[in-house]
Amino acid sequence: MLFSFNKHFKMIVCLLLCASMFCSCGVIVFNTPQDTDNTEETESSLETKEPYEVEEYDPYYSKFDENFQDFMLDISNSDYNGGTFLIANMKEPLIIGDENSSPIISQEYEYRNAYVEQKLNIRLAEKIVDPDTMYNEIRQAIKSSTYYADLILLPQEKIGEYSVEGLIANMSGLPGIKFDADYYNSTSVASAGGNSKIFGVAGDACASYDSHSAVFFNKTLLSQLTDENLYKIVDSGSWTWSKFLGYADSVSGLGEGYYSVGYQNTAEYIQDLIFISSGMQFTTCEYGQMPQIAFDAETANPVVDVIKSVINHPSKFANDEEAIANFANGNTLFLIEKLNTMETLSTSQADWGIVPLPKYSEEQENYRSLVSAENAMFFAMVPTVSDSQKIADVLAMINISSYKETPDAIANDAMSYYLRDNASTKNVARILNSAVYDLAYSFSSESKAISNATYNNIRNASIGKSSVKSYLKSWSRSFDIAMNKVFEN
Per-residue model confidence as pLDDT tens digits over 175-204: 999 999 999 999 999 999 999 999 999 999
pLDDT class of 11 with cuts at 50, 70, 90: very low
Diameter of the chain by CA atoms?
70
Q: What does the pLDDT read at residue 57?
A: 43
User: Comparing 20-29, 230-239, 353-362, 414-423, which segment has the lowest mean pLDDT?
Assistant: 20-29
Q: What does the pLDDT read at residue 385?
A: 95
Q: What does the pLDDT read at residue 99?
A: 86
Closest C-alpha among 160, 156, 154, 164 to residue 132: 154
Q: Say yes or no to pLDDT of 45 above 70.
A: no
pLDDT class of 139 with cuts at 50, 70, 90: very high
- Same fold for the pair 67-208+373-436 and 213-370+447-487: yes
> d(Cα 203, Cα 180) in Å, to the nearest integer?
11
Q: What does the pLDDT read at residue 67?
A: 79
Q: What does the pLDDT read at residue 65?
A: 60
Q: What does the pLDDT read at residue 397?
A: 96
Q: What does the pLDDT read at residue 98?
A: 87
> d(Cα 299, Cα 291) in Å, to the nearest integer?
18
> d(Cα 419, Cα 54) in Å, to the nearest integer?
8
Half-sphere exposure of 38 (CA within 13 A, CB side): 0
Q: What does the pLDDT read at residue 55?
A: 46
Specify the CATH number for 67-208+373-436; select among 3.90.1570.10, 3.40.47.10, 3.40.190.10, 3.40.50.970: 3.40.190.10
pLDDT class of 6 with cuts at 50, 70, 90: very low
pLDDT class of 44 with cuts at 50, 70, 90: very low
User: Comparing 29-38, 173-182, 418-427, 468-477, which segment has the lowest mean pLDDT?
Assistant: 29-38
Length of the chain as a residue count: 489
Q: Say yes or no to pLDDT of 42 above 90.
A: no
Query: What does CATH list as the number for 213-370+447-487?
Result: 3.40.190.10
DSSP state of 83: E
> What global pTM score does this model have?
0.87
List residues bridging with 355 in a β-sheet.
215
Q: Is 177 left (phi over 0), alpha (psi -120 to 50) or beta?
A: beta
DSSP state of 6: H
Q: Do 174 and 377 form a contact (C-beta atoms < 8 A)?
A: no
More confident position, 437 or 24 = 437
| Helical (H) or strand (E) element with 332 | strand 332-338
Q: What are the boundaries of each domain within the chain?
A: 67-208+373-436, 213-370+447-487
Q: Say yes or no to pLDDT of 332 above 70.
A: yes
User: Comparing 22-26, 340-344, 454-458, which segment has the lowest mean pLDDT?
Assistant: 22-26
Q: Which stretches of 94-223 are assigned E, i.e. beta strand?
A: 122-128, 151-155, 193-194, 197-198, 213-218
Mean per-residue pLDDT, 270-278: 98
More confident position, 99 or 55 = 99
Q: Is 454 exposed, middle or buried (0-12, 13-18, 19+ CB in 10 A)?
A: buried
pLDDT class of 91 with cuts at 50, 70, 90: very high
Provide the percentage of residues in the chain whose pLDDT is more than 90.
83
Q: What's the one-letter identity of residue 92?
A: E
> d(Cα 237, Cα 249) in Å, to the nearest integer?
21
Cβ neighbors of 279 (< 8 A, separation 6 or more) are: 359, 360, 364, 365, 368
Q: How far is CA 426 from the centre of its chain?
A: 15
Q: Say yes or no to pLDDT of 379 above 50.
A: yes
Gap between the terminal Cα atoms of the chain:
45
> d(Cα 81, Cα 148) in Å, to the nearest integer?
20
List residues bridging with 436 in a β-sheet.
370
Q: Say yes or no to pLDDT of 50 above 90.
A: no
Q: Do 415 and 30 form a contact (C-beta atoms < 8 A)?
A: yes
DSSP 142-158: HHHT----SEEEEEGGG
pLDDT class of 7 with cuts at 50, 70, 90: very low
Q: Say yes or no to pLDDT of 361 above 60.
A: yes
Q: What is the pLDDT of residues 61-77, one digit of tens each?
A: 444 567 788 899 999 99
DSSP 226-272: -S--HHHHHHTT--BHHHHHHHHHHGGGG-TT-EEEE-STTGGGHHH
Return phi, psi of residue 19, to 5°: -60, -40
Q: Say yes or no to pLDDT of 218 above 70.
A: yes
Name the 3-class secondary structure at 379.
Answer: strand
Q: What does the pLDDT read at residue 100?
A: 85
Average pLDDT of the chain is 89
Q: Say yes or no to pLDDT of 442 above 70.
A: yes
Q: Do 219 and 351 form a contact (C-beta atoms < 8 A)?
A: yes
